Structures are given as structure tokens and as C-alpha cells.
Amino acid sequence: MIENLELILPEIFISLSIMLFLMIGVYKKNSSSLVYSLSTVSLLVLFALLFNFYPLSEASLFNESYKIDKLANFMKILTVVSGIFVMLTSSKYIQLNKIHKIEYPILILSSILGMMVMISSNDLIVFYMGLELQSLALYVLASFNRDNILSSESGLKYFVLSALSSGLLLYGCSLIYGFAESTNFNVILNNTASSSYGLTFGIVFVLVGLAFKISAVPFHMWAPDVYQGSPTSVTLFFAILPKIAALTVFIRFLYVPFVNMFDQWQIIIVFLSISSMLFGAVAAIGQRNLKRLVAYSSIGHMGYALAGLSTGTNEGIQSSISYMTIYLVMNLAFFSCLFMLRKNERYYENIVDLSGLSKNHPILSFSLLVILFSLAGIPPLAGFFAKFYIFMSVIEESMYFLAIVGLLSTVISAFYYLRIIKIIYFDPEIDEYETNHHFGLKFTLAITTIFILIYFIYPRGLTDVVSKIIII
């Protein structure tokens, strides 16, 4: 067991980093900038460690409760890369909004550690520990801007509703433990030859808890308010990272212990997928705030990711992973544009604030044009390929109704994306925004926009990596 501990070196490193930065923050005055910089560097080191372990085929630790495999490595790399870009883009924002405190980067690192534990979990107890570690950090982050009443409100809403969902999830775990006589996924698989109503109820409760974490309908009610009320840097974090971890748990939970009960849980995933796609597309039409729009948009996008999981095939799982990868790039790009809407040290986040943006900021407008077209799924941009992978996997399993609903919701969502483009390019111009943005923000926007633009040249780069992830 000891000799395998190097496999969890990334987790050990980030845990020690958190403790070290906390001590630096406590004992050294005015060290918030130092801790922030060190946290960013530690994430870069973490990425290097994960990348070093990527070629590993598979290994299990702690009595097979913690799994290191290609799925875990890939999703951890996605999580850490997203975390790096979140830190790079939001440094100026947190300074201007007076939330540049030592706790901020430490909470982000703690949340990422929880997500890494979730991603590798092969046991209900380990998964729940990771989930709570992630959630406890997110509760505080949502209400981090204490001077803003909306931020305090969003933190409270997230805490209350998330605690409820965690309770339901824990109840589901206890039901599964009671009927399967184990919390280990591999043992549960061996003990579920004959399915029982108790296990079915357990699966339903756990899926309710997980659906809350990815804001799938009908457990989405927290997302618009939390996205709008939280500081924009935290909203970016909420929009990407927890969803990567939750989707991985969906894959592990459904396809390892309960693959034999596919017929029973498939209908739940299909329902979550259809309702999320339709509701996300329709509800976003009337929004005036960009962060609320992103919230409803992310609900719709999670519907597409779940559609891939509902197929019951490796291809479907791979299409969902590819979708999440492209989705996080598009979100990073969109929020980078949002961070650039700054004037007199104030950030703007309403759709009307984009009016006539193309007159004064042609490069920013072009980036937004590319991002919004990609989110709408317009070829040949990366967002089109993301949806194409999902539709192909769904159609291959003859789930035509799901494909039709997905196509319909794509058409509806294209309406509000195109409306924003109309506002940017054809509405009367407003005052200019500042253009002196820091390097991290410009770099993130450039990288993500180029990725979205040129993805069609070599789409196999991503699919070849993802195709090596075999679950079933």
C-alpha cells in the first residue's frame, strides 16, 4: 500500500500546500497577493504532477475505495487547468471588489481537492467526503463579498438548498449500503445480481443529490440567484469546476455498481436531460443579466451532457466527456469577455451594457461573436462538434426522441445568443470600456477563442484522448 502512495502525490501536494498557505496568511501581514500567487503556482505544479501520471492504466488504493485510472486523470487535469485559468482571469476583479483576502485562493484550492477526491472515488463514503469538502468551500465562496447583499443572499440560498440535497444524497447512500451490504462500488456490483426496490430508491436519492450539484432541472432553482449574486470570479468557478467533478461521479456511480440496473436508472437520466435542455433554452430568453443568462444556459448544457450518459455505451460516456471539455473552454472565454467590461473600476454585467460594443472594441466583439456562435452550436466552431458528438451517440442507440428534443432546444437557444450578437453589432454605441487589462485575462481570452475557432482543423486530437477512457 505504501509503495502506491506516489499515485496520490497530487492530492498530498495540494493538501500540504493549503496548510502552508494558511500558515503564511496567518503569520505574515498583508500577504493576500503572495498567497494568491503561490496558489496559482501550486496549481501549475499540480498540473505537472497529474500530467506525469497520465499514462498509467489503472490502480486502486485504500482497499479499492480510491481509483486512479484514465477517467480520473483526464478529469483531474481538466479541473486543475480550469482552476489555473480561473485564477489567472480573476486576479484584478477580486482586487477591485475588495475581496482580495488570503482565504479566497485557499478556499479555491480546498474545493479543487474535494473535487479530485470525488473524481477518484470508488466508494460511497469517499465520494461523500469529497463532495462535502468541495461544498463547504463553495458555501463560503458564494457569499465571499460580504458587503454585497446579493452575495450574502446567494451564499445562504446555496447553503440551505445544498445541505438539503446532501441530506437526500446521504440517505440514498445509506439505503444502498443497507441493501447491498457495502459502500464499495465493486462489491455493490457483485451484490446486485437481483435488483430490489430498496436499491432503486437509493439510486434515485443519490441522483437527486448529484442533479442538484450540476443544476439539472428540477433541481436547478438555486443556480440563477447564486450565479447572479456571487462575485463574477466565483460564478466562473461555479459554472465549470463542480460540474466536471459531478459528471465524473455520475459516470462512476451509474456505470460501475449499477450497470446491471441500467433499465431502471436510464429513464431518470433521460428525464433530467430532456427537462434541462428544454427549460434551459426557454428560460434564458427573458433574461437581462449576463450571469443569470449563463446560469440558464449551463442548465441546458448539462442536459446535453446527461443525454450522452443515458445511452449506456462507452461512446455515449466519451461524447459527454468531450462535451464537458469544450463547454469549459467556452465558459472560460465568455467570462474573460465579462471581466473586460470594466469602466471606472466598476464591472458591468447586463446585456444592455454590450450595446454597440463593436464600435469601440472590435477585437472583444469578435471574440464574443465567436463564443456565442459556438455556444449556439453553429458550425464549424467547437460548440458544434460538442453537440455533434452527443447527437451521434444518442442516434446510434435509436433514441430519436432525445435527439429531436436536443435539436429543438439548440434552435431555441440560438435565438437568445443571436439577440446578444445583434445588440453588440447593431445597437447604438455606449461609452468605451477600459482596455488596460492584465496579461492573464488577455492570455485566457486569446487561447480559448483560438481553440474554439481552429478546433475543426483537428478534432481528432480530443476524441483520440477521450476514446481511451473505457468504463464498460
pLDDT given at position 55:
55
Q: Answer yes or no: are the C-beta atoms of 219 and 209 closer than 8 Å.
A: no
The answer to whether the CB of 94 falls within 8 A of the CB of 144 is no
CB 214 within 8 A of CB 243: yes
Q: How far apart are CA 175 and CA 158, in angstroms?
A: 25
Residue 362: how many other CB atoms lie within 10 Å: 10
Closest Cα partner for 1 from 95, 85, 66, 86? 66
Length of the chain: 472
> Which residue from 178, 237, 245 is spatially nearest to 209, judged by alpha carbons?
245
**Structure-block grid coordinates of residue 88:** 489567472
Which pLDDT value is given to residue 90?
A: 87
Q: Are 317 and 251 in contact (CB under 8 A)?
A: yes
Please tell me whether the peptide bond between 218 and the residue prior to it is cis, using omega within 30 degrees of 0. Answer: yes
Cα separation of 265 and 270, whole Å? 9
Alpha-carbon Rg for the chain in angstroms: 21
Torsion of CA 218, 222, 228, 232, to 10 degrees: -110
Whose CA is closest to 448, among 373, 384, 371? Answer: 371
DSSP class of 352 = G
What string of pLDDT tens digits covers the 472 residues of the chain? 555 777 888 899 999 999 999 999 888 888 888 999 999 999 999 999 888 776 566 788 888 889 888 899 999 999 999 999 999 998 888 888 878 888 899 999 999 999 999 999 999 999 999 999 999 999 998 888 877 888 888 888 889 988 899 999 999 999 999 888 888 888 888 877 656 788 889 999 999 999 998 889 888 888 888 988 888 889 999 899 999 999 999 999 999 888 888 888 899 999 999 999 999 999 988 888 899 999 999 999 999 999 999 998 899 999 999 999 999 999 999 999 999 888 887 888 888 888 888 888 889 999 999 999 999 888 889 999 999 999 999 999 888 999 999 999 999 998 889 999 999 998 888 778 888 888 889 999 999 999 999 999 988 888 888 888 888 7
Nearest C-alpha neighbor of 352 from the set 417, 432, 424: 424
Tell me the C-alpha distance between 425 and 369, whole Å: 9
C-alpha–C-alpha distance, residues 245 and 422, integer Å: 35
Query: Can you state the percent helix, strand and coil of the chain, rounding each to 5?
Result: 75, 5, 20
